[in-house]
């Protein structure tokens, strides 16, 4: 067994292309290395090796790690992922041989090593085995921002870094929801990225930068770019200021159009209208055609952030997302927009009238200042319907729906209602059974119901129904584990007549004279 101490593995960021952007620390560590490793394209010179050429010491061992493929097309039986997995494993074996022999290995990484860098895959393999470290580098987007000499974000602006490989609707939504943005990974994705920018209202003011900091660097407005000329080494800078400018321009246009309409039709005043819509429990297929059509006609979407995020972005749409406990403030904001002549929709998950924003809007609209606003509620598929359908037909008979949150009503009221519903032998659907700050209510509710119901009473727990993480559990009231319930769950507690078929389907008879099972 060799007594030689293993070498040290260091990943060194060398910046986006200009050798003068290599940090002093990076140059020092490269100059002291026993082995310098670097990635290279299938048929191209290593950009990392070229950038660091002047600081790589003479006589050092060099390891070129040449990719087997750079696109998704490969004959490897495991496809692109399989080919790259095998490649990184072979790279790890080559560099591990040097480390085991006591040689210090430096892996060159363009830009910053942990920012969309290939070097992170080797770092992940080595960090639990060898002494490892990372030297940060100047990112390509920092060089690109400097090239266009435009402030990226100011003060409380939010910066979002996005891969251009995201689905176009998702990219458009995220661009609409941020102040400043950087879009990486262009090339063949450029046409979809440009379309997403247009849908988000962020095309004007967005800059395309190619080969930032390199000798052949160029930059120009995204609107002027030939899609066929976009190389991999390019990105888009969307300054935060451009979002404010776009909003101001749209508001000026809207005001001009409103003035013109007022001048042409001075004796006709358009009524103010506010739509309140239910988006359903999650899947796009559960969005009603009526709501889908309405969302294409409004200029503003107002709602709790996760629900606003579900509305596809398009040109001319402004999104107003807020937190989970400001329903009335959100409603007043939407009413004010509607009063000003804007076309507005307030969105809720499920059905807006079932513990959703519809009631909050009417609460805020009690102010006489909003008497001129016509509030129109469009129904959506409710969560209880979705969970019940997945289970079978547990709400086929009489049922009640209870919001288990005690944020807006005291627990004593909830306790009385649960007891009364159990004594009436109704099926009970429990919304909002638990949250991060409310973990006791499920246990309390179980205790109340067990004072009336048998422990064998059928219970259905639906979690994330309609989504990829969906689960459905059929249990009993006695076996219900409150610790297993979270904010993503909806609980249906059966009546004494609720039954479970041999195949696990749950149903409640419509006819009372079918009798109870206890």
Percent of the chain past pLDDT 70, that is, above it, reads: 92
Per-residue pLDDT tens over the stretch 444-470: 999 999 999 999 999 999 999 988 889
DSSP conformational letter for 157: -
Residue 248, pLDDT score: 52
Tokens of 359: 């009631």
Residue 241, pLDDT score: 87
**Torsion-angle region of 350 (φ positive above 0: left; ψ -120 to 50: alpha; else: beta):** left
| 21-to-106, 142, 213, 453 alpha-carbon distances in Å | 18, 11, 9, 72
| Ranges 27-41, 63-77, 213-227, 401-415: which has the least confidence | 63-77
DSSP conformational letter for 295: H
Per-residue pLDDT tens over the stretch 310-332: 999 988 899 998 877 789 999 99
Q: Domain-by-domain residue ranges, the chain?
A: 9-138, 141-243, 269-378, 389-514
**Torsion-angle region of 516 (φ positive above 0: left; ψ -120 to 50: alpha; else: beta):** beta
Alpha carbons within 13 angstroms on the beta-carbon side of residue 28 total 4
CATH of region 9-138, choose from 3.40.50.970, 3.40.1010.10, 2.60.40.650, 1.10.3720.10:
3.40.1010.10
First and final C-alpha spacing in the chain: 74
Tokens of 338: 């509607």
Domain 269-378 sits in CATH 3.40.1010.10: yes
141-243: which CATH architecture?
2-Layer Sandwich (3.30)
Q: State the pTM of this model.
A: 0.71
Tokens of 463: 């979690």
Neighbours of 484 (CB within 10 A): 13
389-514: which CATH architecture?
2-Layer Sandwich (3.30)
CA distance linking residue 363 with residue 130, whole number of Å = 62
| 395-to-168, 352, 391, 477 alpha-carbon distances in Å | 39, 20, 10, 17
Per-residue pLDDT tens over the stretch 239-295: 998 776 655 554 444 444 444 434 443 443 567 999 999 999 988 899 999 999 999
Residue 242, pLDDT score: 77
Residue 254, pLDDT score: 45
Per-residue pLDDT tens over the stretch 1-22: 456 899 999 999 999 999 999 9
Tokens of 434: 């638990």
Biggest CA-to-CA distance, the chain: 97
CB proximity list for 165: less than 8 A, separation 6 or greater: 185, 189
9-138 shares its CATH topology with 141-243: no
């Amino acid at each position: 067994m060799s007594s030689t101490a293993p070498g040290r593995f260091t990943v060194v960021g060398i910046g986006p292309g200009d050798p003068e952007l290599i940090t002093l620390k990076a140059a020092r560590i490269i100059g002291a290395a026993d082995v310098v490793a670097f990635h290279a394209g299938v048929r191209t010179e290593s950009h990392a090796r070229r950038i660091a050429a002047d600081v790589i010491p003479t006589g050092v061992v060099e390891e070129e790690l040449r990719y087997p493929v750079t696109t998704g097309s490969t004959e490897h039986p495991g496809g692109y992922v399989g080919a790259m997995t095998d490649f990184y494993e072979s790279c790890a074996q080559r560099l591990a041989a040097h480390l085991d022999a006591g040689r210090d290995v430096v892996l060159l990484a363009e830009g910053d090593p942990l920012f969309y860098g290939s070097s992170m895959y080797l770092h992940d393999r080595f960090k639990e085995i060898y002494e490892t470290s990372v030297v940060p580098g100047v990112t390509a987007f920092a060089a690109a921002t400097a090239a266009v000499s435009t402030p990226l974000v100011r003060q409380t602006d939010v910066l979002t870094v996005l891969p251009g490989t995201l689905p176009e609707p998702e990219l458009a939504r995220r661009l609409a929801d941020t102040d400043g943005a950087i879009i990486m990974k262009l090339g063949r994705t450029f046409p979809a990225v440009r379309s997403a920018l247009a849908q988000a209202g962020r095309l004007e003011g967005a800059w395309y930068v190619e080969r930032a900091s390199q000798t052949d660097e160029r930059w120009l407005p995204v609107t002027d770019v030939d899609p066929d000329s976009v190389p991999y080494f390019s990105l888009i800078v969307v300054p935060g200021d451009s979002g404010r400018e776009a909003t101001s321009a749209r508001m000026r246009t809207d005001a001009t159009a409103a003035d013109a309409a007022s001048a042409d039709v001075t004796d006709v005043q358009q009524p103010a209208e506010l739509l309140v819509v239910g988006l359903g429990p999650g899947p796009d297929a559960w969005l009603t055609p009526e709501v889908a059509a309405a969302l294409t006609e409004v200029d503003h979407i107002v709602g709790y952030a996760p629900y606003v995020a579900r509305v596809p972005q398009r040109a001319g749409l402004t999104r107003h997302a807020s937190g989970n406990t400001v329903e009335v403030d959100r409603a007043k904001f939407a009413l004010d927009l509607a009063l000003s002549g804007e076309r507005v929709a307030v969105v809720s998950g499920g059905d807006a009238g079932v513990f959703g924003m519809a009631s909050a809007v009417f609460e805020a609209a009690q102010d006489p200042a909003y008497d001129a606003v016509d509030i129109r509620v469009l129904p959506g598929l409710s969560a209880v319907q979705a969970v019940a359908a997945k289970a079978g037909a547990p709400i086929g008979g009489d049922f009640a729906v209870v919001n288990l949150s005690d944020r807006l009503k005291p627990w004593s009221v909830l306790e009385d209602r649960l007891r009364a519903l159990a004594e009436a032998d109704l099926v009970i659907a429990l919304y909002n059974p638990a949250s991060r700050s409310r973990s006791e209510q499920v246990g309390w509710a179980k205790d109340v119901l067990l004072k009336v119901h048998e422990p064998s009473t059928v219970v259905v727990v639906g979690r994330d129904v309609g989504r990829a993480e969906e689960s459905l559990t059929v249990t009993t009231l006695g076996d219900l584990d409150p610790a297993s319930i979270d904010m993503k769950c909806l609980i249906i507690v059966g009546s004494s007549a609720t039954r479970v078929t041999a195949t696990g389907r749950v149903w409640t008879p419509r006819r009372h004279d079918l009798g109870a099972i206890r």
